Amino acid sequence: MDYWSTSGKGFGAKRAVLALAAIGIALVVWMYHVARSDPIIRSALINAHELSTPVRLVLVSDIHVAGPDMPPSRVGRIVGEINALKPDIVLIAGDFVSDKKLSTHQNAIEDAIAPLAALKARLAVVAVLGNHDHWRDAGAVRTQLRRVRIQVLDNDAMRVGPVTVGGVDDPFTGYDNLGHAVARMRSMPGPRILLSHSPDVFPHAPPDVILTLAGHTHCGQIRLPFIGALSTMSRYGERYACGRVDEGGRTLIVSAGLGTSLAPLRLGAAPDLWVVDLRPSDR
């Protein structure tokens, strides 16, 4: 075989390998950029026939404070964006902390939660815990949340202005008790809103719970073209994995969250938060 032809083939193969490596590096850089991007503000309008005055909810989930993508300083900037939306109620669907192996820094619980003290909601800031909070130290997370005046609901409910908010503890780690939360909600008047870390409670919520808000899935976090999400962390797959779902006269809204799990990368599932405007209805 001719020397020049064989060396040419080798050079061509090296060029192909280098090109693929460059594409891979560029893709990882882009995915990290997406993970660090400002959250998309999504909106939904919900009719509530028991409501006498409009109420603005802001859903936040999966903050996952950890380096490099979600340091406390970034949380502080996002808190400013949330306050600018002028919410009546801020609802946080768990996973405040993160222990992902690819993190460059793991923040103490008090440092992770401290920026949330600046949240401004007309009526209340309400939260439930997620699986990462339980894996780290659920008791310490609850304590720090209450120190910054965030109401934590563990399979319980509370009246917040004209609505009743129920909170289910994390279903993924088995701490949920939907029946108890619903019973507590039914002891109070007004439209019923359920907050859960995982959307998997939605099929089991009764018809009188008009709205369920959740996170946990990250909308897949990494969604490949023509393939979809690598994982949704939901037993229902894509059915309740992302966005708004209207089913049986009820509505589910699932946020993609703010932070990341496993790796500080996102593709096809940008960070987001939801503005949900409840409006009175004669129906």
pLDDT at 51 over 50: yes
Kindly report, residue by residue over 236-272, the tens digit of the pLDDT.
999 999 999 999 999 999 999 999 999 999 999 999 9
Q: Mean pLDDT highest for which of 12-16, 24-28, 88-92?
A: 88-92
Tokens of 49: 């026939």
Q: Average pLDDT for residues 201-222, to the nearest whole number?
A: 97
Q: Which residues contact 37 (CB under 8 A, 6 or more apart)?
A: 270, 271
Does residue 136 contact residue 113 with C-beta atoms inside 8 Å?
no
The confidence score (pLDDT) of residue 229 equals: 94
Does residue 164 contact residue 193 with C-beta atoms inside 8 Å?
yes
Q: Average pLDDT for residues 137-165, to the nearest whole number?
A: 98
Fold for 37-280, please state it.
Purple Acid Phosphatase; chain A, domain 2 (3.60.21)
The confidence score (pLDDT) of residue 263 equals: 94
